[in-house]
A and B are shown apart, each in its own frame.
Chain A
Amino acid sequence: MCKECGCGLPGEDPVGVSAHHHEHAHVHEHDDEHEHEHGAGHHHGDEHEHPHTHPHTHAHQHDETEHQQADGVGGGTRRTVEVRRAILDKNDRLAERNRGFFRARGLLVLNFLSAPGSGKTSFIRESVQKLGPDLKAGVIVGDLATDNDAQRLRESGAPVVQITTGTVCHLEAEMVSRAVKRLDLTGLNLLIIENVGNLVCPASYDLGEDLRIVLLSVTEGEDKPLKYPPMFQSADVVIISKIDLAQACGYDRDTALANIRRAAPKARIFETSAKTGQGMEAWREFLFQQQQERKALDPLSL
């Protein structure tokens, strides 16, 4: 379940509002005709609630004292359980597993995020075509529907896997781990993940990437980094795209750069145009350096 906008999510157990409600928690009325393997001596007089993941098999053992409740409020065994876990803990753990897998493979992994229409697909396609002989990329692309972007990306010659999320507005670590299984990683040293176009929800979901790349096109307005701070704050790199349109749309470069630096003081900034190729060489050089640094960190690579 997406914590930001409430869109549906196949990977987790929604509680209470989905069609799966009955699989997660339901109320039992225990009576004598019940087929459960209870020990003798139980007397369920009241409505009793069990948290079951399995609707009709009761394999767990009931302690005698648990059932000596007058009204279901508790039998004097009330206790505190320390949990201290992030609400999105499940995704975070799966992301770490992905990260370990990617490291072992020597892959530099990029998570591309932006609003719809910022030019992620064009930018990635041009990047992949101009990587040169040292970098070989595979691409995973997420969209709510259609594989149009995957088809456009295949024009670059790179292997591409499409994730169609249905109603889900962001990618999650689990979706990426499933998609990677469909990608032939032989000979690849760069994995590019194009997230669903959305500047809110994907910010909260770690996919196991090395770098978060946030795109901002000159047509979107200079104040976007201030309007969507969590996304820009999480960026390692900010790409200003469609710089060839800067003059036509009255783009204020100084204001845009100041706003990006305010929201993301540590992010590297590249000003690019996938159409004219402006700034693409500096970006390629950056990726090459990042890949070399990853390789140097890996004790197993020579």
Chain B
Amino acid sequence: MHELSIMQSALSLALDQARQAGGSRVHTIRLRIGALSGVVPEALEFAFEALAPGTPAEGAKLAVEHVPARFWCAQCAREFQSDDLFAECPGCHSPSGELRAGREMELASLEID
């Protein structure tokens, strides 16, 4: 259910942007989805197939770029990657307070004409 509504917002934004750019058809929608966003790309694809028919994005390709989670450890002054929501710094094993990337849910670009 959750991905259906994300896809609705994304498609809404995509159609809006396509229209503003003077496009009448959308061929590709590129999304960036963070590892910790709680969104499953396969479910997005399924939702897109259900939502796109009847819109200018019917038949378009949905390309989802996975963004790995990156944390910052202030104690060690280093960045580290982990797809665990409760990531520990591999240096000092303290829980990280700062997530630098991984929550993204972004419409990156469109291919239109």
Contact = CB atoms under 8 A, between A and B. Distances in A.
A83 B52 contact: no
Contacts of B18: 51, 81
B13 A87 contact: yes
Nearest to A225: B86
A49 B25 contact: yes
A80 B105 contact: no
| Chain B contact surface mostly | mixed
Contacts, number: 145
B51 A16 contact: yes
Nearest to A52: B19
Contacts of A5: 1-2, 5
B90 interface: no
Interface residues of B, number: 47
A130 interface: no
Contacts of B108: 82-84
B105 A3 contact: yes
Interface in A67-100: 72-90
A89 B13 contact: yes
Contacts of A265: 95-97
B86 A79 contact: no
Interface string A247-266: 00000000000000111011
Interface stretch (A23-31, A271-279, A292-300): A23-31
Interface string B87-113: 000000001110100001111111111
B109 A82 contact: yes
Contacts of B6: 3, 87
A79 B113 contact: yes
Interface in B1-36: 1-2, 4-6, 8-15, 17-19, 21, 23-25, 27, 31
A21 B86 contact: no
B97 to A, nearest CB: 5
B76 interface: no
Given A15-B11, A88-B9, A78 B111 contact: yes
Contact of A2 (B5, B53, B58): B5
B105 A88 contact: yes
A266 B95 CA distance: 10
B47 to A, nearest CB: 10
Given A17-B4, A81-B21, A86-B105, 19 more contacts: A4-B38, A15-B55, A16-B50, A24-B55, A25-B54, A25-B56, A51-B24, A51-B56, A76-B113, A81-B111, A83-B13, A83-B14, A83-B108, A83-B109, A85-B13, A87-B6, A229-B85, A262-B95, A266-B97
25 contacts: A1-B5, A3-B105, A4-B2, A5-B5, A6-B4, A15-B11, A24-B12, A25-B54, A49-B25, A50-B56, A66-B24, A72-B25, A74-B27, A75-B113, A76-B113, A77-B113, A78-B111, A80-B109, A81-B110, A85-B13, A87-B13, A87-B106, A87-B107, A88-B105, A89-B13
Interface of B: 1-2, 4-6, 8-15, 17-19, 21, 23-25, 27, 31, 38, 50-56, 58, 85-86, 95-97, 99, 104-113
